[in-house]
Structure 1
């Protein structure tokens, strides 16, 4: 077996996306989405660091690794690592070689904190991280809802928006008041709600420019963004659906939540149900979402709706002494 490791570039995006999707079919990736993510990093005003490697065996790409700084919870000494080897070449030394490249690079960068992860039903990947001194910090369940069997009639009462608040998709709000006003309302709600999402580091402010670039992703779905909007035009809650690379039968749930002053009024539930109705009418069969085990309110809401957990993604962290 002739194994080589080299730095990857944009031309390698199709291979990297293929490897990512083979290792984590729960979270498939396309070259187009990957290119958008990389460009967003390169264009970000914080200038986050990013470096990629590709592992090839006899000329075939079988593994990849990336080191980057996450702008959503940026710290100059914190890095995230994704390292993956296709199942056909797992436990054959490919991951070890990639890890050596990554560890050398992180040492040269003076990294003081490293985040990585693996699914709990990939025991070899979990053990691989633990052997390198990474400790578990949180778990995020994939929760899946079967829309084909969901009984909407059971939710007709007790799940309505209060008077003076209406549900609008981002596309509808754009038609009503223009793109700038719609994006400002969306960004304002998103920026507050995201602060309460469990994460392993403090959230970094997301500027309007960053937010607009997020909405340019190939899998962004304006008709899947539901906003609870007051008569004055303020968005006070939101529920996002994103297109999935797996196909039109599935949508992925993004951020769902309510601004603090409007909580305990049933807005998140009402919006989520409206999004589910629209998805079902469009022929969508499954909704996938990720919920941290520490996010008790959202876990409870999704359990009530019938979402069922799949194996959890474990996030690990290494910190220098």
Structure 2
């Protein structure tokens, strides 16, 4: 088959997104999602690099690749590779062609580390990465809870918070103390809790301004953020529910975390349960979350709640910084 590879332009975004959604239907995105993501990168003070390519056959975009840098785990020599080919066009050299194009680009930029991955069921993709010098470094599980089987009455004791701590949404906290104070209390918890989330590289500092920008994305909604608030007004724990615009009956869980001084008190469990209860009452069918294989406490919590693990995403690394 004859195909060509070229740098992508903004007009290619819908076609590239169609390839992404065909390859990753469980994580489908809208055009607005991807545009917001690219704006975030462009506006980041770290000035992360991003470059897209498309592979075309008979005028159709059949494969895409993106090399980019993540502001939340940033190093100037670390890059992330995403490469996708439509299933019906695989085995014809398109993936290898895209990989070679991207590799030449990262070599020009003198990259020292590249992270890429695929589902454990995508054995050919993982084999291709390993042939090109990548090694497996971490596994991440999607965990899915179907709320039709969730009975909130069985969890009333676990929903209770210890004395001196209240559960409330971000919207409720804003109504009580004002937007500025609520955002700041939420941010203080977020900054501390995210430090202990397993990832393939250390977390980069996130400024208050960048934190607010992230929460302007379309999927974010204030009633979806549950907080454990102390009598002194500090946020001790948090969990985030986010909209999925490709499935109105699904919510995705963002960060769930507890500040170190408040751990082992059941705060994270109580908040997740309250979010699950409200989501079910509002007609949500499924909750999705993602956890690293070495995040034993969160995996155990999700197992207890009835989440079912899906095939793992295997993160692979070339080089290292």
TM-score category by the smaller chain?
A: over 0.9
**1:151 aligned residue:** 151
Q: 242-251 vs 202-211, which deviates more?
A: 242-251
SS in structure 1 opposite 2:291? Answer: strand
Please list the CA deviations of residues 164-184 of structure 1 after superposition, one character each: whole Å capped at 9, or x if unmatched: 211111122222222211111
Which residue of 1 is the match for residue 239 of structure 2? 239
Ranges of 4+ aligned residues in structure 1 off by more than 6 Å: none
Deviation at 1:2, TM superposition (A): 3.3
Does structure 2 retain, via aligned residues, the 8 Å contact 1:227–1:235? yes
* Rounded Cα–Cα distance in structure 2 between residues aligned with 1:9 and 1:173: 42
- Aligned 8 A contact 1:240 1:255 in 2: yes
37-46 vs 163-172, which deviates more? Answer: 163-172
For structure 1, the 5+ residue unaligned runs are none
Is the contact made by 2:158 and 2:269 (CA closer than 8 Å) also made in structure 1? no
CA RMSD of aligned residues (A): 1.3
Partner of 2:204: 204
Does the alignment pair 1:311 with 2:306? Answer: no
Give the total of aligned pairs. 321
Q: Distance in 2 between matches of 1:16 and 1:183?
A: 35
12-21 or 306-315: which moved more? 12-21
State whether residues 137 and 200 of structure 2, in contact with CA within 8 Å, keep that contact through their aligned partners in structure 1: yes
Aligned residue in 1 for 2:62: 62
Residue 245 of structure 1: how far off its partner (Å): 3.1
Q: Which runs of 5+ in 2 are unaligned?
A: none
Q: CA contact under 8 A between 1:141 and 1:310: conserved in structure 2?
A: yes
- The CA deviation string for residues 285-316 of structure 1, in whole angstroms up to 9 with x for no partner, is 11111111100000000000000101000100
Of stretches 179-188 and 169-178 in structure 1, the one that deviates more from structure 2 is 169-178
Deviation at 1:95?
0.7
Residues 10 and 35 in structure 1, CA contact (< 8 A), matched pair in contact too? no
Could you tell me the TM-score, scaled by structure 1's length?
0.97
TM-score under structure 2 length normalisation: 0.97
Is the aligned partner of 1:85 residue 2:85?
yes
Distance 1:7 1:132 in 2: 22
Number of the residue aligned with 1:33: 33
